Structure 1
Amino acid sequence: MNRFPTLETERLILSQLEEKDIPFIVEYLQHRIYSDLTSNIPYPYTENDARFWLTISQEAFDEQIGYTFAIRNKEGQIIGAIGLHDREDNKAELGYWMAIPYWNKGYVTEAAKAIVGFGFKEMGINKIFATHFPHNPASGKIMEKIGMEQEAVLRQHVKKDGEYHDLVMYAIFNHRD
């Protein structure tokens, strides 16, 4: 794929991250809760963190190993992000975050359904998986809503801020005939 894809759902536009998104990303991710609920968002979150994230997202696309989409409302304003990254063996990892003012409105579920379809149809992925911390059951609910099933609890799987944390892993398969 030469051009970054744009996906549209009923309420959202999923498109490439852009330089103009950086101030919003930094503002949204200033809340400690993002660091507490994810394994890879630091606190405090700086402009350099956002610039680095845009750079590695572009590199992943250029190497055809990952897609990080801005989740935008129909006016084009970024309200979150969602990504699908190839982890070899024909499987990919799904990850996402949503700005706090947009929580509990079904946006992540809507975006995730579109991304899973994209992964199966456009990327030819067989298995899409995602993980969440046990203390973030809302993320697990999203995974269930898009058809994922809990596959495992990965004990002490990540070390963050000097502590080991379990991860709950969900997966969905591309059922091909």
Structure 2
Amino acid sequence: MTPALLTQRLLLRPLEHEDSAALADLLNRPEVARGLCTIPKPFTPLHASAMILMVRASESQGKEFVWAVENGEGDVIGQIGLREIRPGCGRLGYALLPEYWGQGLGREALQGVLSWAERHTALTRIEADAQEANPTSRPLLERLGFVLTGRVERFSLADHGPLPFLTYELALTSPAQLHVA
């Protein structure tokens, strides 16, 4: 099960069915949707409910963790997901409402998830993508220590065609790998 995480300004908590409308609003924003390949357009609250059900099934197996990102007023302003894609390797995905960009909230939320993953999972590596045209996601990943590993084209459901993405990777040091001198 996805645990609740508290950062200085945010609460990261498991997605609930009541989040369907907020999730649909987030993922329908053109600025957000263009960086997410697997999200159909339009993305309805019914799509969001189905997504939450699928996440719950994966969470029960310990393979996926998805958080709603709440600000101090209790508003859902984003979503972060971490899914194991192969043993020891996870894929990170995230989206934040555009009106909250540039305030350090994305970095704060992602740092909370990465810190938790390092302490509580067997992941040793995390991958993430950023659309080449996305001016905020690339620097965010780089500030978090992700290293550029290449370029790929991914099919976008929202754009009905391929889009260029940059691929990134972050090495984690899990507690099992730490050695006491």
* Contact 1:34–1:41 (8 Å) recurs in 2: no
Structure 2 counterparts to residues 10-49 of structure 1, below 5 A: 10-49=8-47
2:121 counterpart letter in structure 1: M
Q: CA deviation at 1:167?
A: 1.9
Stretch of structure 1 that moved more, 26-35 or 49-58: 26-35
Question: Which residue does 1:120 correspond to in 2?
Answer: 118
Match of 1:159 in 2: 155
Displacement of 1:32 after TM fit?
2.3
AA partner of residue 128 (structure 2): A
Q: In the aligned structure 1, how far is the partner of 2:94 from the partner of 2:2? A: 18
In structure 2, distance between residues paired with 1:162 and 1:101 = 26
Q: Distance in 2 between matches of 1:4 and 1:144?
A: 26
Decide which of 87, 90, 97 is 1:89's aligned counterpart. 87
Q: Deviations over 1:147-172 (max 9, x none)?
A: 11111112x3x222442223211111
**Structure 1 gap segments, 5+ residues each:** none
Letter in 1 for 2:53: T
Q: What do the CA deviations read for 1:98-152 (whole angstroms, capped 9, x no partner)? A: 0122121111111111111111110121001100111113111110111111111
What do you get for the CA RMSD once the two structures are aligned? Answer: 1.6
- 1:73 Cα deviation from its structure 2 partner: 1.2
| Residue-by-residue CA offset, 1:26-83 (whole Å, 9 max, x unaligned) | 2233322222222122221211111111111111101110000001113332110001
Match of 2:166 in 1: 168
What code does the residue aligned with 2:135 have? P
Q: Conserved in 1, the CA contact under 8 Å of 2:32 and 2:96?
A: no
Q: 1:104 aligns with which of 76, 81, 102?
A: 102
Q: TM-score, normalised by structure 1?
A: 0.90
SS at 2:90's partner residue?
A: strand
> 133, 136, 154: which one pairs with 1:135?
133
CA spacing shift, 1:97–1:170, aligned 2, 3 Å? same
What TM-score do the two structures reach when normalised by structure 2? 0.88
Detail structure 1 runs of 4+ shifted over 4 Å in the superposition.
none
Within 2, Cα distance between the matches of 1:100 and 1:41? 17
Which residue is equivalent to 2:146? 148
Aligned residues: 173
